[in-house]
Amino acid sequence: MIIQQNISLKNYNTFGIAVNAKRFISVTSVYELQQLLKVEKDIFLLSGGSNMLLTKDIEKLVIHLNIKGISIDNEDENAVYLTVNSGENWHEFVLWCISNNYGGLENLSLIPGNVGTCPIQNIGAYGVEVKDTITKVEGLEIETGKLVSFSNEACKFGYRNSIFKNSHKGKIILTSVGFKLTKKNHLLNTSYGAIETELALKNILKPSLSNVSDAVIAIRKSKLPDPKEIGNSGSFFKNPVISKKQFLKLQKTNPNIPNYVVSENEIKIPAGWLVEQSGFKGKRFGEAGVHEKQALVLVNYGNASGEEIHQLAKKIQATVLKNFQVSLEIEVNVMQ
Ligand code: EPU
């Protein structure tokens, strides 16, 4: 195990923020990680770096989780059970599933990041959330170095949420995720408007897993910036859920406000709409900005500091609150 000194993390976070790690190590096995935890307690975990905003140099030991490997634990004629190590790239894993005709993750194509972080925020897109296919999550307890396992229920998944963002935050290093995927009679979810349109454009009536994946890739590419071209972390804010009473009040002055019913008394409204209506879409403030095609995504034009992006986020939150009396919650992990 080699600990490197003064490493730039610019290529380790999709926002492309140039902060330095005083000490940095890339670990490739659970054993290595366990050995490290025996001597190092003050650590900063880095996985795919796709859902974090780094704001300053890191004094703690930065551990880059790079444990790879996919194993088939079990299968029958209908389903396959996989264990996937946390350092596998998410999109490559999704493509591997599609090439093996394993169904369930195709709507989650092209999401940046690694497998090990997908349960933390319960990644979701185009009508599917990863919680629907997760069977278990394994990790190491930082305090004891012990291997621990969580069933799907124990993870308490919610919209962009799980125990790993709450009671277990900072306590567990996720090392692998278990999935149950279909081998036949795939339950395709094409009800999301843009997917239907994309399939219809190609005259596809009976879509395959790869047809759905291709449609999702096309939609994402048309709306979301590629982190390799322009630094970003996907949705920067969560879509807020407000009371029906507040929604009806807002609707009076904004008859076109998009909305999704969550429950009898709760309505979700797209944060992207609120940000766009507040005049931020496509606006640039120095090196930071709001993406021109999707107002939910903040971007780094090249040399933004994390603080610059965070200040822009705060300005957006304050303006949306003033205009709509709605609080926008940041979805990305902002380094404190
Ligand atoms: N909208 C605007 N202006 C914008 C963007 C969106 O008015 O600039 C409105 C439109 O009315 C649109 C609606 O918002 O119909 C919803 O937009 P979209 O379908 O693009 O989805 P979203 O709610 O903005 C969520 C996820 C995305 C996910 C998409 C597709 C959250 C916070 N974001 O975005 O997730 O890809 O749905 O399912 O739930 C991510 O987490 O990084 C991410 C990209």
Interval 171-189: pLDDT, tens: 999 999 999 999 999 999 9
pLDDT digits (tens, 9 = 90+) for 30-87: 999 999 999 998 999 999 999 999 999 999 999 999 999 999 999 999 999 999 999 9
The residue-averaged pLDDT of 137-163 equals 96
Gap between the Cα atoms of 258 and 217, Å rounded:
24
Q: Residue 287: how many CA atoms within 13 Å on its side-chain side?
A: 15
Q: Say if ligand 1 is within 6 A of residue 211 CB.
A: no
Predicted confidence at residue 336, as pLDDT, reads 83
Name the percent of the chain lying above pLDDT 70.
Answer: 100
Spell out the residues 6+ positions from residue 269 whose beta carbon is closer than 8 angstroms to its own: 239, 240, 242, 247, 250, 257, 258, 259, 260, 326
| Block residue for tokens 């394994």 | 138
Gap between the Cα atoms of 151 and 59, Å rounded:
34
State the distance from the centre of ligand 1 to the C-alpha of 126, rounded, in angstroms.
9
* Residue 86 annotated in active site: no
Closest residue CA from atom 10 of ligand 1: 273
The residue-averaged pLDDT of 2-8 equals 96
Which position among 160, 162, 176, 305 bears the catalytic label?
160
Burial of 184 per CB tally in 10 Å (0-12, 13-18, 19+): exposed
The residue-averaged pLDDT of 279-296 equals 98
Report which DSSP code applies to 219: H
* Residue 284 annotated in active site: no
Q: Say if ligand 1 is within 6 A of residue 331 CB.
A: yes
Q: Say if ligand 1 is within 6 A of residue 258 CB.
A: yes
Cα-trace Rg, the chain: 20
State the distance from the centre of ligand 1 to the C-alpha of 82, rounded, in angstroms.
30
Contact 304/288 with Cβ under 8 angstroms?
Answer: yes
> Token pair for residue 254?
């904004």
State the distance from the centre of ligand 1 to the C-alpha of 296, rounded, in angstroms.
7
Residue 270 alpha carbon, nearest atom of ligand 1: 14
Spell out the residues 6+ positions from residue 188 whose beta carbon is closer than 8 angstroms to its own: 103, 106, 207, 209, 212
> Token pair for residue 249?
């009040």
Contact 86/164 with Cβ under 8 angstroms?
Answer: no
Q: Residue 160: how many CA atoms within 13 Å on its side-chain side?
A: 15
The mean pLDDT value of the chain amounts to 96
Closest residue CA from atom 11 of ligand 1: 258
Contact 10/28 with Cβ under 8 angstroms?
Answer: no
Predicted confidence at residue 80, as pLDDT, reads 98
pLDDT digits (tens, 9 = 90+) for 213-261: 999 999 999 999 999 999 999 999 999 999 999 999 999 999 999 999 9
State the distance from the centre of ligand 1 to the C-alpha of 251, rounded, in angstroms.
19
Predicted confidence at residue 316, as pLDDT, reads 98
The residue-averaged pLDDT of 124-135 equals 97
The answer to whether residue 101 scores a pLDDT higher than 90 is: yes
Closest residue CA from atom 7 of ligand 1: 273
Contact 24/64 with Cβ under 8 angstroms?
Answer: yes
